Amino acid sequence: MTEIPKSHPRYVSLMTRERLVEGVKLGVTAMQGLIAHGRGEAFDYILGEKTREFALKAEKAAVASMLLAKHPVISVNGNTAVLVPEEIKRLADAVGAKVEVNVFHYSPERVEKIKSYLERYGVEVLAACDAVLDGLESARRIVDSRGILIADVVLVPLEDGDRCEILKKHGKRVIAIDLNPLSRTARMADITIVDNIVRAFSKMIEMAEKMREWSREELNRIVGEYDNSEILAEAVREIKRYLEKTAEEITR
């Protein structure tokens, strides 16, 4: 991994890229995942690389949904595994969720590599790949019978829109983490967290450690008051505000 001085103004962003490149070398991250990350990073840039208020609302509703669920599952692909392995364990423990490997660019060998990588961080991983999610043609249809197949709430970081739609058709509540509020995934999900995955997991862990002591009545109130359409609209408005502000600064 390239050594990057902490004084570099883009240190966090560059280190994130380095972790993904290292993930490719390990066979955990797909090459296509680098392209997907670059697209998300562009949206993070025009959001000011900050967790905005609308994202905090979505993260709170996401945590409440997982705490209320009977069978919550955190779905993990290669990018997610290398970017937030420790946080995956902490969030799963905090909300009582199972962790399952599910990838678009599938091979048994790659699934095993992701599983082994997460296990280094103490994550208990489901990766039997012994069931199929009906209605989906891509390799995302291959799931674990103890995980996504029976889940009622699924957290799907860095998701593709097709599976998001099918998960909902199977009666599952879908929580997406997607920096692009215009994507099909963002608009299909029940709860869309428009935030960088690294910041999102950290925020949700903080929330979960407090909220798991709350009553089900309070958690239900949070979920009931949540409006994903308004959250996405606010994200688009924030992008517009940030760009207009930046344009003004440039022309001064």
- Number of domains composing the chain: 1
Is 24 inside a domain boundary? no
- Tell which residue, 71, 64, 192, 171, has the closest CA to residue 126: 71
pTM of structure: 0.94
Instruction: State mean pLDDT over 91-116.
Output: 96
Give the DSSP letter of residue 76.
Answer: E
Per-residue confidence (pLDDT) for residue 9, from 0 to 100: 67
Distance separating alpha carbons of residues 211 and 223, to the nearest angstrom: 13
Looking at the domain assignment, is residue 216 inside a domain? yes
Does residue 60 fall inside a structural domain? yes
Give me the domain span that covers residue 224: 53-237
Confidence at residue 105, expressed as pLDDT on a 0 to 100 scale? 87
The yes-or-no verdict on residue 97 having pLDDT over 90 is yes
Q: Is residue 243 part of a domain?
A: no
Instruction: Tell me: pLDDT of 3 over 80.
Output: no
Query: Which pLDDT value is given to residue 30?
Result: 83
Give the domain CATH number at 86: 3.40.50.12640
In a domain, 37, yes or no: no
DSSP string, 128-140: ---EE-TT--SGG
State mean pLDDT over 17-40.
83
pLDDT single digits (tens) 153-199: 999 997 666 788 899 999 999 999 999 999 999 999 999 999 999 99
CB 175 within 8 A of CB 35: no
Q: Is residue 8 part of a domain?
A: no
Contact indicator for 151, 131 with CB cutoff of 8 Å: no
d(CA 179, CA 197): 8
Q: Is residue 97 part of a domain?
A: yes
Residue 12 forms part of a structural domain: no
Q: Is the pLDDT of residue 50 over 90?
A: yes
